[in-house]
Chain A
Amino acid sequence: ELKVEQNPLFLSMQEGKNYTIYCNYSTTSDRLYWYRQDPGKSLESLFVLLSNGAVKQEGRLMASLDTKARLSTLHITAAVHDLSATYFCAVDSVNNNDMRFGAGTRLTVKP
């Protein structure tokens, strides 16, 4: 069974600080996704990582994928309040017709 684990589940940080969210998964997959969800809102796609070593950056967020370690990271640089949201990673297993989301990391950036 495909399993996806995120940590931390809760993250409170000060503005201006850096931090990393981790996403581990249990099966071979070259496709990993990061989504953002604001309170009471839908999910918004942030990054699509399709190969080993893939790195993508958008503003203060940078995502990377290591398929050998079955690990993706979402790095936050110089956090600002607007980044407060829940971040989900998701992995699909095309061969098994399965897709799983991590439990989400609820990020709060304090002024």
Chain B
Amino acid sequence: DTAVSQTPKYLVTQMGNDKSIKCEQNLGHDTMYWYKQDSKKFLKIMFSYNNKELIINETVPNRFSPKSPDKAHLNLHINSLELGDSAVYFCASSQDYSFGEQFFGPGTRLTVL
């Protein structure tokens, strides 16, 4: 059983399009996160959600919006995609909102053409 899953694994799209990445965790964790990993492998936290509440929101463009229909899901919606959005996006989860050890999904490689 996959603990944290993401779809799609690869996403290739044109500039200006809107896309979503889905994430699900079956660990019963309370908090989920989205990270962006750039071409230099630098990891930056974008959002975290605890019990459907946004508890951290890094200075990411408002084109990015996390949506959590329930505790087990945290989707990432991106509007008006730009070239600079190309990266690998990782979803993660942890037991509670105090961060702690995180379990990462397999990642979604987004390429904007």
Q: Give A contacts to B, CB under 8 Å.
A: 31, 33, 35, 37, 41-45, 48, 86, 88, 92, 94, 97-101, 103-104, 106
The interface residues of chain A lying within 8 Å CB-to-CB of B106 are: 41-42
What is the number of contacts between chain A and chain B, taking CB atoms within 8 Å? 49
Quick check: B104 and A43 within 8 Å, CB to CB?
yes
The interface residues of chain B lying within 8 Å CB-to-CB of A103 are: 40-42
- With A99-B45, A103-B42 given, is the CB distance from A33 to B90 under 8 Å? no
Chain A interface, >50% SS class: strand
- B113 is an interface residue with CB less than 8 A from chain A: no
B89 to chain A, nearest CB (A): 11
B34-69, CB under 8 A of A: which get 1 and which 0? 000000111111000000000110000000000000
B98 to chain A, nearest CB (A): 5
Query: Could you tell me the distance between the alpha carbons of A99 and B99 in the complex, rounded to whole angstroms?
Result: 8
Can you report 7 residue pairs joining A to B where beta carbons are below 8 Å apart? Answer: A33-B101, A37-B41, A42-B104, A42-B106, A86-B41, A92-B100, A101-B43
The interface residues of chain B lying within 8 Å CB-to-CB of A97 are: 55-56
Quick check: B99 and A42 within 8 Å, CB to CB?
no
